[in-house]
Structure 1
Amino acid sequence: MSVLWVLGAGQLGAMLKQAGTPLGIDVRPVDIESTETLPLAPTDIVTAEREEWPETVATKQLATHSNFVNLATFPQLADRLTQKQWLDRLELATAPWFPVESDSTATHAYEMLGDRVLMKRRRGGYDGKGQYWLKQSEGSEIPEDWKGQAIAEQAINFDEEVSLVGVRGKNGDTHFYPLTLNLHINGILYASISPLERLQPLQAKAEQMLSKLMDALDYVGVMAMECFRVGDDLLINELAPRVHNSGHWTQAGASVCQFENHVRAVTGLPLAPAEVKNQSIMVNLIGIDLDYNWLNLQGLELYWYKKEVRLGRKVGHLNFCSGNSSTLQKALEELNLPNPYPEALTWLKKNLPII
């Protein structure tokens, strides 16, 4: 088996390595700042844990390898302008938008999109960063340094935020996990729940949307589609051509997790539909210290990223999977986390179905 190199050595790369080990696949995440000469063989395969990267010694070696899967896709989806253009071209529903040009004005934005407009930097800006609100009631204007560097979107009064994680093989076969319900606080994902029977009526629609996109891009591997649910409609908010935070629950709750599915797909191994084991919830650990007392909670699985703890930084996550709702509710009651976690834990308790 050839080596599978991962451009990027963050937590996603580490979890891809963990998923590849039982399959006998040598997965090697590479720090983008590495200056070493990598022993790349012609038959090796390259994937990435991130949408874009700077030009460094390491990334130049990996990005010029002939077996870099989806290399042409990354720049198209990393730029929100070309990402939106793909959605429009494929007639996939998304929030009304327009590119912020050098001569764009707030007046034009309000005329086109209403009295609340969200500007997003074309590149980067995840976890609530790289965003700027235009509010007509406050007389907001477009900052000069945002012109030509952003898109403007209509503010959507959504009912819920959901995501779909799917995988596509080299032969075009696709498999999907159940829709996941997500809670963001200050633009950062704090908690997820899957599966939910009440989201099942939207599953086929979501799968058709993501399939259409992956087929058009001839994409191979795992992709995540974040959506706003507005009644019975789905509007695509963001796309991630990689394994995704909202799919972390699959590590505990599915027979094949998103990380293994991605490894299988990019290396050409057989894909199979993942069997969902039980009710799952995921809690992101944001800027808080490691506490091994969490391991006392029944049904808990801890993933710690071994990062320096900083405000707003994702440093780990907790997975819970059980066929007993009282077990999950009890774990949430006993999970002691600082603000703003009480909001997230209350949201989880409210949305957990009775099993």
Structure 2
Amino acid sequence: MPTVWVLGAGQLGAMLKQAAYPLALRVEPVEPESEQLPAIKDGDIITVEREQWPDTAVTRHMSQQSGFMNADIFGKIADRFHQKTMLDTLGINTAPWRSVEVDTQAESLHAALGPDVLLKRREGGYDGKGQFWLYQNQGLDVPSDWLGTGIAEKKIPFNEELSLVGARDKDGNKVFYPLTLNLHRNGILMASLAPLARVDHLQGKAESMLGKIMDAADYVGVMAMECFRVGEELIVNELAPRVHNSGHWTQAGACVSQFEMHLRAVSSLPIKAPEVRGQSVMINVIGVERETNWLKIPSTQCYWYGKDVRPGRKLGHININHPKKSAVQTALNELRHLLPENYGDVFDWVKEELAKL
């Protein structure tokens, strides 16, 4: 088996390495700022845990290798201008948008996109960073540091946020996980819930959209598509050409996790439709010290990333899975007492959504 090198050594790289063991694959995450170049051999595979990386000796070395998977797609997706252009070209629903040029005025953006306009950096920005709201009633102009560096989007009055994680192999075979319902607070994913019977009728539409994107890019591996649901329509918000936070529930809730599926695809091992096991809820642990009593709760799996604790930082996640919703709810009730009060609305949201299933 070849070595699979992962550009990026954060939690996603670590979970890819964990998923590799049953496949007898060697996975080696690489820190982009490392002073030592990885010893990549002919036949080795290079994949990523992030779609953007700094220009360093390591990243130049890895991106020049013949085994670097999906090399042509990262620039198109990491840059929101190119991502939006690609979606428009493919005829896939996305929020109406405009490029923010060096001479763009707020008046022209409001005329094209409405009174509430969201500016997004073309590159960078995650977990709510790299965004700026331009409200017409506040009389704001486009900040000077946004000129020539961003795109502008129309505000979408969505019903809820859904995501789809899928995988494609080198032969064009594709598999998909169920649509996942997500809750964000200040742009940070707080909780995910899957499967969701009430959106089953949108599954085929979502698969067609993501499948079209992966085929057009000749993409190999796992890709995530974040969407707004507006009535019976899906509008793509963001794409991620990698394993994704909203797919973490698959570690407990599917026969093949998104991490194993990605490794299967990039290393030419068979991919298969993931059988879903019961009801899953994923709770992100944000800016909270580790609590070992989480490990006592039935029906849970706890992942701690080993990072320094800082406000707003993703430090781990907790998967809850059981065939019976009542068991999932019992676990949530126990967990609620072990997380800070600001998680109250997160648990309320999950409880309300479970009741709709």
Shorter-chain TM-score: which interval? Answer: over 0.9
Alpha-carbon deviations, 1:34-70, whole Å to 9, x = none?
1113211011110000001112122122111101000
Conservation of the 8 A alpha-carbon contact between 2:30 and 2:38: no
Q: Deviations over 1:4-53 (max 9, x none)?
A: 00000000000000111111000000011111132110111100000011
CA distance in 2, matches of 1:90, 1:57: 35
Match of 2:340 in 1: 338
Distance of aligned partners of 1:354 and 1:153 in 2 relative to their CA distance in 1, 3 Å threshold: closer
Q: Which residue of 2 aligns with 1:80?
A: 80
Matching of residues 25-174 of structure 1 within 5 Å: 25-174=25-174
For the structure 1 residues 121 and 339, does the alpha-carbon distance in structure 2 shift closer, same or farther, using more than 3 Å as the test? farther
TM-score w.r.t. the length of structure 2 is 0.98
- Which residue matches 2:322? 322
Instruction: After TM superposition, list the pairs within 5 Å mapping 1:144-223 onto structure 2.
Output: 144-223=144-223
Mind listing any 5+ residue stretches in structure 1 that lack a counterpart? none
Secondary structure in structure 2 of the residue aligned to 1:89:
helix
Q: Which residue of 2 aligns with 1:23?
A: 23
Displacement of 1:354: 7.3
The alignment yields a C-alpha RMSD, in angstroms, of 0.9
The 3-state SS of whatever aligns with 2:142 is coil
Change (3 A) 1:229 1:354: closer
8 Å contact kept, 2:225–2:238: yes
Q: How far did 1:327 drift?
A: 1.3
Q: Tell me if 1:277 matches 2:277.
A: yes
**Take 1:197 and 1:93, find their aligned partners in 2: how far apart are those partners?**
23
Matched with 1:260 is 260
Distance 1:101 1:352 in 2: 44
The aligned counterpart of 1:349 is 351
Q: Distance in 1 between matches of 2:293 and 2:303?
A: 14
Aligned-residue offset at 1:92: 0.3
Name the SS for the 2:76 alignment partner.
helix
1:301 aligned onto 2:301:
yes
Checking the alignment, whether the CA contact within 8 Å between 1:161 and 1:183 is kept in structure 2 is yes
SS class of match (2:66): coil
Aligned residues: 355
Deviation at 1:339, TM superposition (A): 4.0
* TM-score (normalised: structure 1): 0.99
Q: CA deviation at 1:97?
A: 0.4
Asked whether the equivalents of residues 134 and 142 of structure 2 are also in contact (C-alpha less than 8 Å), the reply is: yes
Distance (whole Å) between structure 2 residues aligned to residue 109 and residue 23 of structure 1: 51
For the 8 Å contact 1:164–1:176, the answer to whether it is kept is: yes
Quick one: which amino acid aligns to residue 349 of structure 1?
K
Q: How is 1:211-250 mapped onto 2 (pairs within 5 angstroms)?
A: 211-250=211-250
State the 1:340 CA deviation: 2.5
Q: Deviations over 1:264-319 (max 9, x none)?
A: 00011111111001100000011111001011211010010001111111010000
Q: Amino acid of the residue matched to residue 88 of structure 2?
A: D
How much does 1:329 deviate?
1.2
CA distance in 1, matches of 2:119, 2:39: 43
- The CA distance in 2 between the partners of 1:203 and 1:20, in whole Å, is 29
CA distance in 2 between partners of 1:99 and 1:179 (Å): 30
The DSSP-based 3-state class of the residue aligned with 1:33 is coil
Instruction: Give runs of ≥4 in structure 1 deviating > 3 Å.
Output: none
Tell me how far apart the structure 2 counterparts of residues 15 and 298 of structure 1 sit (CA, whole Å). 22
Letter paired with 2:193: I
Q: Secondary structure at 2:306's aligned position in 1?
A: coil
Equivalent position amino acid for 1:66 in 2: S
Secondary structure at the counterpart of residue 265 of structure 1: helix
Q: Is the 8 A contact 2:98 2:152 kept in 1?
A: yes
Q: CA deviation at 1:205?
A: 0.3
Unaligned runs of 5+ in 2: none
Q: Return the alpha-carbon distance in structure 2 between the equivalents of residues 353 and 46 of structure 1.
A: 43
